Structure 1
Amino acid sequence: MICQSVRTLQKWRVTGYGPAFYKLGHSVRYLQSEVIAWATERRKAHTSQ
């Protein structure tokens, strides 16, 4: 859905930028609905926004 590398997602988690996530042991998981909501909030109609 967001087409980012694992490393980018790691950086986003550290900075608090990316979608909400769950940490289960050593695994990181995202709810599809939360990723979609996060991406929708950042949707732009044109480049000047």
Structure 2
Amino acid sequence: MSISTTMSNINRIQKDIASLQKQLSDEQRKEAQLSGKINQIKRSVTKSTSLSTL
């Protein structure tokens, strides 16, 4: 394997890693947003639900 082929492979893999890191970051952001919404709904349900309705 030549040096240029190896360097090309390294560059491709580095781009793949960067892409995967961005995807991970995007998914973590979505997860945080959804967790916030879930917590908001939980608080809303707790505030508006009386024991007699259970």
Structure with greater Cα Rg: 2
Instruction: Report which structure shows greater RCO (CA 8 Å, sep ≥6).
Output: 1
TM-score, structure 2 as length reference: 0.27
TM-score, structure 1 as length reference: 0.29
Question: Between Structure 1 and Structure 2, which shows a larger proportion of strand residues?
Answer: 1
